[in-house]
Chain A
Amino acid sequence: MTELKGINIGLFDYDRHNALYFFILNGDEEIYLRYGGRDSVSPDSYLSLDSLELALQRGLELHDQWKEGNGPAWEAPEPFYPEQMPLLQEKEVSRGRCVECHMIGDYQAAQLELDGNLDKAKLMFPSPDLKKLGIELDVPKGLLVDAVSGMAEAAGLQPGDTIAGFEEHKVYTFGDLQHRFGKHARDATSARLVVDRPGSDEPIELTMQLEPLWWVTDIDYRYWSVDPQAYFGDEPLSAERKAELELPEDALACKVTSVNPRAAIVESHALQVGDEIVAVGGETRHGGLGSCGLYIKINVKSGETVTLDVLRAGEKISMPLKTHRQYYRKNK
């Protein structure tokens, strides 16, 4: 099988920008666990043969329990098929094209945008970064906590704990945990973890107080899925550089690290590598979105033009940047 047409993507719901993703389930299509997940650094940061073996063993244990009538609780999600997505149907399925997994994510966002229902906060950041939440895992050992900081440390999570639950859900793998974080409400102020701790006979419940924008991650690796297109890469200016420029710590200030050749083709902008952007559309504070590219993705609509304040060779210049929408999101 080489494509997703005819597959119940409502059941097999995951971040389609994973290079590999696994499910273990039974013949009644009850999913026991998932294996996969990623961060912005690499598609395989959380993949290892050891943790895969652990997941397989756990899946078999859960299956044995299910056969004995003691399987985990299961509530089937609403079935949903790629063919039910109008834009995908029109642009790909009806033309006999292969529907690849990443296209599901792309067209889900495109369809929602078309319908005026795109929740960028949830759709564009489906894989929260556990390290940002203060959770460092011993990856080969599944959900064994290796180190803690920030929000997780404040909640009482400790190295040596094994995360076993998120809210009301049991979790068995990193994929399970990241998926649950991904589904958590973006305006939530807390999240409940259940952990197994050496020396404790009972599971321990912890409540993490979530900081604003806890779900924001670098989304460069999924940039094709995220409109508008601005055709440049950037990184936030260092604290030292901001101080040199007498900018506040939370200044929206970035250095251009790459320019997509398409910028010239579509006459999007005239940025150059090394340029420093110090305002986007008059906004000078990043509001938690570190990079200028990310700020544009979240705050600018496709097709809009914004004015950039740019420092180049000691001169401050104003420059228009026209954003673009990808071809398959056009029409209708």
Chain B
Amino acid sequence: MKSFLAPVALSLAALAPASAAVNNDSDTLSWTKSYDEALQEAKETGKPLFLEFRCAP
């Protein structure tokens, strides 16, 4: 997916550790935690955004 998507991880709960939003397979997928940065990247590259909201159940 790396070449097609600009994934954004918004780790939105104090109970969810920040690292939990980062894919373990960092060789193939790199997440950013800044929506604004990812949006800018999407505008510049033409990629779609894959946006994750994460919250404690």
Instruction: Let me know if A7 and B50 touch, CB within 8 A.
Output: no
Contact A29 B39 (CB under 8 A): yes
Tell me if A56 and B12 are in contact (CB < 8 A): no
Instruction: Count A-B contacts at CB 8 Å.
Output: 90
Given known pairs A27-B39, A27-B46, A56-B1, the reply for A4 and B51 (CB within 8 Å) is: no
- Report the minimal beta-carbon distance from B44 to chain A, rounded to whole angstroms: 8
Q: Do B55 and A18 touch (CB < 8 A)?
A: yes
Min CB distance A93 to B, Å, is: 15
**A: which residues have CB within 8 A of B?**
1-4, 7, 12, 14, 16-29, 32, 43, 56, 59-60, 63, 67, 98, 100-102, 221
Per the bound structure, the CA–CA distance linking A60 and B4 in Å amounts to 8
B10 in the interface (beta carbon within 8 A) = yes
> What residues of A have a CB within 8 angstroms of the CB of B4 in the complex?
60
Across-interface contacts of B11 in A (CB, < 8 A): 1-2
27 A–B contacts from the bound complex (CB under 8 Å): A1-B12, A2-B11, A2-B12, A2-B14, A4-B12, A7-B10, A17-B55, A17-B57, A19-B57, A21-B55, A22-B50, A22-B51, A22-B53, A23-B51, A24-B49, A25-B48, A25-B49, A28-B43, A29-B39, A56-B50, A60-B4, A60-B48, A63-B48, A100-B14, A101-B13, A101-B54, A101-B55
Grouping DSSP codes into helix (H, G, I), strand (E, B) and loop, the A interface class, with mixed when no group exceeds half, is loop
Cross-chain contact B56 with A26 (CB below 8 angstroms): no
- Complex contacts, A14 vs chain B, CB 8 Å: 53
Question: Are B50 and A102 in contact (CB-based, < 8 A)?
Answer: no
Q: In the docked arrangement, what's the CA distance between A319 and B8, Å?
A: 52
Instruction: Collect the chain B residues with CB atoms within 8 Å of residue A23's CB.
Output: 49-51, 53
Return chain A residues, CB-CB under 8 Å to B50. 22-24, 56, 59
Complex CA–CA separation, A192 to B46 (angstroms):
35
Q: Which residues of A contact B35 (CB under 8 A)?
A: 1, 7
A19 touches B54 (CB 8 A): yes
Interface positions of B (Cβ within 8 A of A): 1, 4-5, 9-14, 18, 33-35, 39, 42-43, 46-57
Contacts known (A1-B34, A4-B12, A100-B13); A20 close to B52, Cβ less than 8 A: yes
Least distance between A40 CB and chain B CB atoms (Å): 12
Which residues on B sit within 8 Å (CB–CB) of A18?
53, 55
Q: Please name 15 further chain A to chain B contacts, defined as beta carbons within 8 Å, in addition to the given A26-B48, A56-B5, A59-B50, sorted by A numbering.
A: A1-B9, A1-B12, A18-B53, A23-B50, A24-B51, A27-B39, A27-B42, A27-B43, A27-B47, A32-B48, A60-B5, A67-B46, A100-B13, A100-B14, A101-B54
Roughly how many angstroms separate A22 CA and B35 CA in the complex, as a whole number?
Answer: 13
- Selected from B13, B34, B52, B57, the residue in CB contact (under 8 A) with A22 is B52
In the complex where A1-B35, A56-B5 touch, is A25 in contact with B53 (Cβ < 8 A)? no
One of A2, A26, A43, A98 near B49 (C-beta < 8 A): A26
Contacts of B42 in A (CB 8 A): 26-27
Beyond A24-B51, A27-B42, whether A43 also contacts B33 by CB under 8 A is: no
